[in-house]
Amino acid sequence: MYIETVWKDNSNYYLSSSDKARIMKCIIILVAIIAVSCNHQNTDNSKLMIQRSDLISIPLILPGSLENRKLEFQGYVNSARNNITTFSKQYGWEEFTQQDFMDSVIIFDDKIIFNKTVLKLAGEDTAMKLPDTYCATIEKRTLVAVSPEFYANVYPEGIEERSYEKLLTHEMAHRLHVEIFMGIVEAMGPMWFYEGFAMYVANQFAESQSILSKEEMITIMKEPDRGSYVKYNYIFRYFVKKVPLKELIIRAKNKNFNEELMLMLN
Ligand SMILES: [Zn+2]
């Protein structure tokens, strides 16, 4: 369209045949340059579109107060997905991450509405109480999470570099763990272990300075109620230095798994 206009404008003037030949030559070069640059642009755009569509292939629902931060949240979700894919490849589990663990992502700026949504998705009584520090989960293929600000506020212990991305990775790691066992939740092992695994995948508390004695570790491992994630993380990392991760994951489904590990502490 642009070239056509130039040509028409030029045709209003008298031009010698050599001028015309020169102009023709210039136009041919110009057309070639534009063609190459358009082609180049198309390639870049299509790459960009692939990345973008990948980024937004999972519908992201934000409350009005966070709507202007859509790109930021898409970044968190995408980074978490990449973390899971990269981790899975390292251990030969990539077949379990070929499909996303969720069909949509919903972020909340209100913990009460978050709680109600989680309980509703889980088919539980929506009047049930959930801990304040319960900030994200994947239920019925929906990733639900509170805002990064709320998370940092209720769980200051969890503040570290990229902590929100790590929170989302942690939730996806639980799904990966379940997928490895074809949906059999019981095969994931005791609570300290599956939470420790999710933190290990998400690289949470990797710089933690906390140290536990063997007696403290045994007490925590025996405790069925939910305890400190920093301590779970310490215990998980302690054992993963002694037993290869894949072996630990497989052994965790054994009935005596906890006892077997505790014997290693003696
Ligand atoms: Zn968890």
Q: Are 151 and 243 in the same domain?
A: no
Cα torsion 132, 160, 100, 135 to 10°: value is: 10
Q: Look up the pTM and report it.
A: 0.79
Residue 91: inside a domain, yes or no?
yes
Judge if 135 and 244 occupy the same domain.
Answer: no
State residue 24's pLDDT score. Answer: 53
pLDDT 10s digits, 243-263: 999 999 999 999 999 999 999
Distance 134 CA to ligand 1 centre (A): 9
Distances (CA, A) of 219 to 57, 58, 108, 232, 258: 44, 42, 36, 11, 11
- Please, what is the Cα angle at 257 between 255 and 261, to 5 degrees? 155
Same domain for 163 and 266: no
Q: Could you tell me the distance, in angstroms and rounded to a whole number, from the CA of residue 199 to the centre of ligand 1?
A: 8
Q: How far is the CA of 44 from the centre of ligand 1 (A)?
A: 39
- Residue 59, both tokens: 């519908």
How far, in Å, CA of 21 to CA of 27, rounded? 10
Q: Who surrounds ion ligand 1 at CB < 5 A?
A: 195, 198
Tell whether 68 and 166 lie within a shared domain: yes
The number of domains in the chain is: 2
Q: How far is the CA of 174 from the centre of ligand 1 (A)?
A: 7
117 C-alpha vs ligand 1 centroid, how far in Å? Answer: 18
Give domain status of residue 75, yes or no.
yes
pLDDT at residue 22 in the model? 60
Q: State residue 11's pLDDT score.
A: 37
Token digits for 87? 């981790």
Question: And the tokens for 229?
Answer: 């994630």
Which of 114, 145, 180 represents a domain boundary (last residue)? 180
Condensed to tens digits (0 to 9), the pLDDT of residues 33-68 reads 444 343 443 334 444 433 444 555 799 999 999 999
The domain of 225 spans 183-266
Q: Which of 180, 197, 223 is the last residue of a domain?
A: 180
Task: Determine the pLDDT at residue 209.
Answer: 87
Same domain, 216 and 174: no
- CA of 2 relative to ligand 1 center, distance in Å: 58
pLDDT score, position 230: 95
Below-50 pLDDT ranges, the chain: 1-15, 26, 29-53
Domain final position from 142, 159, 180 = 180
